[in-house]
Structure formats: structure tokens, C-alpha cells
Amino acid sequence: MKVLKFGGTSVSSVETVKNISAILKRTTEKQIVVCSALSKVTNMLTEAGDKAAAGDISYREISAQIEKRHYDFIDALIEPSQQNDLKGKIHNYITRLDKVLESIYFLNELSERAYYIIVSFGERMSNDIIYRYLQIHNGNVDFLDSSQIIITRPVGGKEHVNRTVTYENIRKNWNPNADITVAPGFISKSEKGYATTLGRGGSDYTAALYAAALDASMLEIWTDVSGIYTSDPRKVAKAYPLDKVSYREALELSNFGAKVIYAPTVQPVMEKKIPMKILNTFQPDDEGTLVSTETSHDIPIKAISTMENIAMITFSGTGLVGTTGIAGRLFSMLSRNNINITIICQASSEMSICLAIDSKDADKAVKAINEEFDFEIRKDTVNKTVAENDYAIVAMVGEGMKNYAGLTGKAFTALGNANINIHAIVQDSTEVNVSIIVKKVDATNALNVLHDVFFNN
Ligand code: ADP
Ligand code: ASP
Ligand code: MG
């Protein structure tokens, strides 16, 4: 059996839904189909929640637009005589959505639980429509409600998938007699029973969980580009698709901003060595990219990605020199506060530790660090920490980098010639990822300069 995931743009037009139906007919293997919400709908749901919390009644217009968008989509796809009260189902979802939005409006507060419920409606609606369409055009089709099967539990204040329970649920509930099973992406349930989700972009992860639980022969991620490119094609005009990358390379790229795969997706398929293909729903015959244990070593750097909205935090002071335990305290305290660190660097002088984190966590991190080291700050052995916003990370990724000397030198020279200032440079010890920190305004330029140097000469 194989698992196919179709992203938002792949389920938003009549043309691509027809493509989906045709793609599913290409094989006699059993298939699980995981779909996202119609494109932009998750953003609209979030916006409606934010407006309601801010006391802005126009959240109602957004929910009306969402309802109309789904009605129009149903009409474009399915004959009225075959709709089977699908619009009634959508109307029920919207009625529930409106009730949640109304309570947010009166409370003036968007809690985490309310957010989860709101955003879950996107995948509930799109998957019901696709399910109906496939029942009509692809025959023996079943439905698995991911919102009851994918189970999360809080780890460090955030909901994470409980894979053991989830895998058991999938194995228990999947009907191997159905040729096709539709299972919504993104949505899940907490151990306590309330609605949760797998994070923005999470439908890729849902698909990987189904694939790993059922030992699928393949996971196919169908999107709006023909594979993993040498760089984001929206930012680098000369980027081109790669034929293969290793799991490790896919992991590094997705962790460092390549949105084409949601980072948590890689782990479950890597553990089971399930090959994953990135394919284009708009050009179904394109080769796409194969992600597996293999990689091609013909080019040292496989791809370059960027992560924007990075804040740099410099933790410094004479108290750091030769003292053990200070770094440990810093990292445990950040972890207790749920602050994810993307990059850590320390110069050999040990006078400072520099951290790259998501800008949205910057104020919280600074406050927590200054509180934790209040005594040392007053003694003047640790300097008061401040955050500098508006940085970006440019990550060069490739398993072949370790065999080549002088790559970082080449990158430095090219960026220097383009007048781009490098704030820090970090290489992981396995040499699969070299990350350069630059100002956010320079990020796209840096990406193109490096792409020209390593791919277009
Ligand atoms: P979907 O809705 O199908 O999940 P996403 O928008 O999440 O699609 O991911 C696809 C997008 O990822 C592409 O349109 C592209 O702009 C972006 N992207 C970023 N980096 C890369 C890369 N290295 N290769 C391909 N696409 C990339
Ligand atoms: N609809 C969700 C999002 O936009 C999940 C996904 O598309 O993967 O983030
Ligand atoms: Mg995505």
C-alpha cells in the first residue's frame, strides 16, 4: 500500500482534483489519500479567530466567505444530484465554527484549544468533499477520521504526536479491503480528548504517520512544484529540481526553511526506510524528487534554504570563561520556557554564547535569561542580555560537502563581493549543513549569490 498527500493548492481547483482522481487510477496498490484544507483556508480561519478575539465583528464575513468558497467548489466538482447533502454537512461545520468564533468574540480571548478547533474545520471540509468526489469517480473508497486516530500529548508545553498510540489506532482502524482510504491531514486529538493539530504544514506529517504505521511501500507528497529544488523556486529564479536527496538532507532542508516538506515528516519514514517522493499535481508526469537512504554525490551542496525572522541573542560575560555549568543552566532554562534554539555558537575564548531563535520568542527568552542570571548580572560576571531582531539563516545542505575543501571560503568570498555582511557561520560536525547568519534584508540576495556560485557556474 502507499500513502499520497495532496496539499492545499492541489485540492482547490477542478483541474487538480481531476488529476488526483487520475493519479489514483494509475496503480492497483491500496492507497491512503491525505488532503490539506483548500489553499488559504487555514489562514482565513486563523484570521477569523484573531479578529473575533480583537472584538472585530468582521470575523463573520470571513466565515461566510469560507462557506461560499466550499459551496462553489462542490458545485464545480459534483453534479447536484450526486452531492448527497454535502452542502448540509459544510453548513453544519460552519455553524459550529461560528459558535466557537462567537464565544471568542465575547471572551475577547483566543485560547489554544479554541484555535485548534477553529483551524481543524479546513481539513474536515476539504476531505469530506474529496471523499465524495472519489466515491463517485474511483469506486471502493473508505474514510478514516484522523481527528480521532492521530493522538497528541503535551511535551514541554506543546502538543506532540504519541506515535505508539497513533500507530496502533491506524493499524486497528484501517480497512485493507478498501482500495482507497481518505484520511484528513493536520487534525488530531489530545490524550484528554480535545481537538489538536499537528502544526502549520502538518498534513505532510499526517501522511508520514499513516505510511510508517502501515509499512507503506511509498509516501508521495503531491504539491505545486516538481520536487525539492536547489532553492525555493519562488525566491531563486534559476533553481531546479533534484532527482534524489537523502533523508538526512531532507531533514536539514526542512528544518532550515524549505517549506516543501514539513520537518517532522521525515523522521517516521526515515525510521522505517520508506521512500518518499515529492511530486507536482499540476505536472503529474514530472519525475519529482526521491527521498531515501541514497543520495547523489555529484554535487557537494544539494540545496540552499533560508529561515527568516530570526533573532540573535548574545549571552556573554567574564563569568563564562572556564566556568562549568553556566551553559547547562542557560539551555535547561530555555527548554523549561519552551524556547526552541535553532543555532548555538561559542567562540573558543568562551566569552560569549550566541543563539539564533525564532523572533517571536525573543522577548520571552531575554526576560527569562536576565531573570535566571540576575545574581551574576548584579555581580557583573554576566552581561545583561539583549536580542537583535531581523536576522535570517541561510543554510547550505549536502552530504557531499565533507569531501570538498574550500566551500565555506568560496561562500565567504562571494558574499563579501556582494557586500553582504556575515554575522556568524556554523557548521554541524557531520558537515551536512553549513549555516550562515545574515541580516534579513540580505537573505534573498545571499541565497541567489550562493546559488549562482554553487549551481550556475
Ligand atoms: P503544500 O500546500 O502542497 O503543502 P507548500 O506551500 O507547503 O505546499 O510547499 C510548497 C512550496 O514550498 C513551494 O511552492 C515552494 O515555494 C516552497 N519551497 C521552499 N523551498 C523549496 C525547495 N527547496 N524546493 C521546492 N519548493 C520549495
Ligand atoms: N492546512 C494546514 C496549513 O495550512 C496544514 C497543511 O496544509 O499541511 O498549515
Ligand atoms: Mg506544505
Q: Count how many domains the chain has.
A: 2
What is the reported pLDDT for 45? 98
- CATH code, domain with 426: 3.30.2130.10
What's the mean per-residue pLDDT of the chain?
Answer: 95
pLDDT score for 324: 77
Could you tell me if 32 and 3 are in contact, meaning their C-beta atoms sit under 8 angstroms apart? yes
pLDDT surpasses 80 at 322: no
**pLDDT tens digits along 46-101:** 999 999 999 999 999 999 999 999 999 999 999 999 999 999 999 999 999 999 99
User: 343 with 204, same domain?
Assistant: no
For residue 230, being part of any structural domain is answered with: no
Which of 223, 243, 277 delimits the end of a domain? 223
- Asked whether residue 425 is domain-assigned, the answer is yes
Q: Is residue 245 part of a domain?
A: no
379 and 320 Cβ atoms separated by less than 8 Å: no
Q: Are residues 177 and 321 in the same domain?
A: no
pLDDT, position 155 = 87
Residue 100 inside a domain? The answer is yes
Give the pLDDT score at 187: 98
> At which residue does the C-alpha cell 539551555 appear?
331
Give the per-residue pLDDT at 296: 80
Query: What CATH number should be reported for the domain holding residue 156?
Result: 3.40.1160.10
**426-450 pLDDT, tens per residue?**
888 778 999 999 999 999 999 999 9
Distance 262 CA to ligand 3 centre (A): 6
Q: How far is CA 387 from CA 21, 280, 313, in A?
A: 50, 40, 5
Answer yes or no: is 281 within a domain. no
The alpha carbon of 123 is separated from its chain's Cα centroid by a whole number of angstroms, namely: 16
Which pLDDT band, with edges at 50, 70 and 90, does 457 fall under?
A: low
Looking at the structure, do residues 336 and 208 belong to the same domain, yes or no? Answer: no
**Could you tell me if 210 and 319 lie in one domain?**
no
219 and 313 fall within a common domain: no
Domain-located, residue 420: yes
Domain holding 8, by residue range, is 2-223
Specify the 3-state DSSP secondary structure of 355.
strand
Last residue of a domain, one of 193, 223, 253: 223
Residue 153 resides in a domain: yes
Among the bound ligands, the one closest to the CA of 200? 2
pLDDT, residue 201, reads 97
Domain boundary among 205, 223, 241: 223
Write down the pTM of the prediction. 0.95
Domain assignment present for 291: no
Q: Taking CB atoms and a 6 Å cutoff, what residues make up the pocket around ligand 1?
A: 7-10, 36, 201, 223-225, 228-229, 231-234, 258-260, 303, 305
Ranges assigned E (strand) in 163-214: 180-182, 187-190, 195-197
Nearest CA to ligand 2 atom 8: 201
DSSP reduced 3-state for 202 = coil
Ligand 2 pocket list (CB less than 6 A): 7-8, 36-37, 42, 122, 185-186, 200-204
What number is the average pLDDT over the span 294-302? 85
In this structure, are 180 and 50 located in the same domain? yes
pLDDT in tens, 168-188: 999 999 999 999 999 999 999
Report the run of H or E that residue 268 belongs to, with start and end: helix 266-271
